[in-house]
């Protein structure tokens, strides 16, 4: 108590302080604590509700995402399948086109070779014909200008006897 | 030619019959004597026909020959036409064979006097033949004869090509040979120097080529 007196605090001050403190505590407890607690409860409820909603949204989102993932996977699979089909078709068409080109090439080559062979034969035939015609002209010229009349008359008689056989 | 020559022959025969009214009652040898008297040098074919034919048959033949103006009559059905066809194919043919290329360059009167020896007699038939041959070329005579003969008989068209003119004896021999093969035919002789030697014979367009030209062509057709 002497220490408190040295500090300037008396018993009455202590009592007053205690009563004052108690009053403040009673006032705060009565008029602030409840609303504060109510407010805290409300706030906690709100926060919980929000959290729940968020959780629900998160769950929904997760489901949606799962569904989307699934759909995406399906579409990818479908796309891959179609791509593979298209690749096969393109490959087949390419092969068919290549085969057609090869066949056309072969046919053209054959035709060209046939034309060349025909031209060769024609040239040869033409050369032969010309040589024969020239030979014929030369022989006829010699024969028609150099034969005596008696020989010709004799030839007529010979031809007549051949005809009459 | 057929109607002209036929009419001329008929005129001669009827002229003779007018003077010899009992002609058909006589036998063959008597008839020949009568024919020799009235128609000396008359073609043998007609003489043979008239020697053997009866009066009835003669009238039928005449009537058929007149029908020739409007319809076809075959030589086998008619003795007169047969004699006419023989005259054209044999007598005319052999006479024409004796004409050389010079004949066709003579003037008309010269030709007529030359033809007197080939168509003797002064009856209508020989006069008609002399004038007909004198007025035509060799090809025209040949063409007329073939046309006339084809009217009454199925004769082929025969052409003989030689490189030079052949002598009349050879021509007559050839004509005779064809007559034996194709009765009443009238072969035409052509000169074609291009055949060089030998001869070509065309019968109804089919050719048998024995010419030197054909031989040369065959030789030069061989492959080199």
Overall average pLDDT of the A146-157 stretch: 84
Q: Residue B162 and residue A156: Cβ atoms within 8 Å?
A: yes
Q: Interior CA angle at B92 toward B86 and B98, to 5°?
A: 140
Pairs of residues, one from chain A and one from chain B, whose beta carbons lie less than 8 Å apart: 62
Q: Which of B108-122, B166-180, B185-199, B210-224 has the lowest mean pLDDT?
A: B210-224
Q: Write out the two tokens for B171.
A: 């021509």
**A11-15, A85-89, A98-102, B190-194: which has the minimum mean pLDDT?**
A11-15
C-alpha torsion sign, points B43, B139, B178, B53: negative
Q: What pLDDT is recorded for position B162?
A: 93
Q: Is A146 on the interface with B (CB under 8 A)?
A: no
Mean pLDDT, rounded, for B45-56: 88
Contacts of B162 in chain A (CB under 8 A): 156
Supply the pLDDT for residue A99: 96
Using the Cβ of A153 and the Cβ atoms of chain B, whether some distance falls under 8 Å is answered with yes
The pLDDT tens digits of the residues spanning B2-36 come to: 888 888 888 888 888 888 888 888 888 888 888 88
- Residue A72: pLDDT band (50, 70, 90) is very high
Quickly state the pLDDT bin for A12 (edges 50, 70, 90): confident
Cα B190 from Cα B161, distance rounded (Å): 5
* pLDDT recorded at residue B124: 87
Minimal Cβ distance to A147: which of B162, B197, B221: B197
DSSP 8-state secondary structure symbol assigned to residue B155:
P
**How far, in whole angstroms, is CA B193 from its chain's centroid?**
27
**Count of alpha carbons within 13 angstroms of residue B197, beta-carbon side:** 21
The pair of structure tokens assigned to A51 is 């959290």
Nearest CA in chain A to B207: A163
Dist. CA A124–CA B170, nearest whole Å: 47
pLDDT at residue A66 tops 60: yes
- Give the integer Cα–Cα distance in Å for A80 and B75: 104
The answer to whether the CB atoms of A157 and B177 lie below 8 A apart is no
Task: Pick the residue from chain A with its C-alpha nearest to B221.
Answer: A132
Minimum Cα–Cα distance from B200: chain A residue:
A159
CB nearest to B199's CB, from A128, A131, A160: A160
Q: Is B169 on the interface with A (CB under 8 A)?
A: no
State residue A131's pLDDT score.
82
Give the residue among B161, B171, B167 at the shortest CA–CA distance from B200.
B161
Please list every residue in chain B whose beta carbon sits closer than 8 Å to the beta carbon of residue A144.
Answer: 193, 196
Are β-strands B188-191 and B158-162 bridged in parallel, bridged antiparallel, or unpaired? parallel
What is the 8-class DSSP label of residue B195? Answer: G
Instruction: Say if the Cβ atoms of B210 and A162 lie within 8 Å.
Output: yes
Predicted confidence (pLDDT) at residue B95 exceeds the cutoff of 80: yes
Q: Is the pLDDT of residue B223 over 60?
A: no
Distance from CA of B223 to the nearest CA of A (A): 8
Mean pLDDT of A119-144: 83
Task: Write down the pLDDT at residue B8.
Answer: 87
Task: Please report residues of A whose CB lies closer than 8 A to that of B176.
Answer: none
Mean pLDDT of A54-66: 91
Q: Where are the domains of chain B?
A: 2-154, 156-224
Instruction: Confirm or reject contact between B198 and chain A (CB < 8 A).
Output: yes
Cβ contacts (< 8 Å) between B190 and chain A: which residues?
none
Q: Which of B72, B70, B94 is nearest to B168 (CA)?
A: B94
B-chain residues near A129 (CB < 8 A):
none
Could you give the ipTM of this predicted complex?
0.74
pTM of the model: 0.59
Q: Give how far the C-alpha of residue B29 lies from the chain's centroid of Cα atoms, to the nearest Å.
A: 26
Q: Average pLDDT of A57-73?
A: 92
B100-123 residue pLDDT tens: 778 888 888 888 888 888 888 888
């Amino acid at each position: 108590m002497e220490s408190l007196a040295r500090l300037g605090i008396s018993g009455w001050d202590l009592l007053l302080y205690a009563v004052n403190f108690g009053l403040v505590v009673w006032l705060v407890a009565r008029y602030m604590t409840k609303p504060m607690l109510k407010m805290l409860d409300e706030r906690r409820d709100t926060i919980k509700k929000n959290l729940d909603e968020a959780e629900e949204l998160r769950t929904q989102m997760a489901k949606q995402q799962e569904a989307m993932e699934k759909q995406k996977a399906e579409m990818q699979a479908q796309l891959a399948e179609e791509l593979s089909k298209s690749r096969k078709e393109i490959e087949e068409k390419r092969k068919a086109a290549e085969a057609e080109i090869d066949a056309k090439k072969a046919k053209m080559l054959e035709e060209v070779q046939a034309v060349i062979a025909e031209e060769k034969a024609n040239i040869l035939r033409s050369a032969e014909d010309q040589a024969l015609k020239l030979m014929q002209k030369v022989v006829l010229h010699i024969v028609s200008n150099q034969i005596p009349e008696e020989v010709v008359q004799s030839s007529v008689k010979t031809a007549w006897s051949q005809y009459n056989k | 030619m057929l109607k002209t020559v036929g009419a001329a022959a008929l005129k001669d025969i009827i002229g003779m019959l007018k003077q010899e009214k009992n002609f058909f009652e006589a036998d063959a040898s008597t008839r020949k004597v009568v024919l020799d008297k009235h128609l000396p040098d008359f073609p043998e074919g007609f003489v043979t026909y008239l020697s053997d034919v009866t009066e009835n048959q003669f009238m039928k033949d005449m009537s058929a020959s007149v029908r020739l103006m409007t319809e076809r009559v075959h030589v086998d059905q008619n003795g007169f036409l047969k004699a006419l066809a023989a005259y054209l194919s044999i007598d005319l043919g052999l006479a024409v064979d004796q004409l050389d290329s010079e004949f066709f360059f003579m003037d008309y009167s010269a030709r007529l006097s030359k033809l007197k020896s080939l168509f003797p007699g002064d009856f209508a038939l020989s006069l008609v033949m002399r004038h007909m041959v004198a007025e035509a070329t060799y090809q025209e005579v040949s063409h007329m004869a073939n046309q006339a003969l084809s009217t009454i008989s199925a004769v082929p068209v025969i052409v003989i090509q030689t490189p030079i003119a052949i002598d009349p004896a050879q021509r007559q021999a050839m004509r005779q040979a064809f007559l034996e093969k194709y009765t009443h035919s009238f072969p035409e002789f052509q000169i074609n120097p291009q055949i060089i030697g030998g001869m070509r014979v065309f019968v109804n367009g089919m050719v048998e080529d024995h010419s030197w030209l054909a031989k040369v062509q065959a030789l030069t057709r061989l492959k080199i």
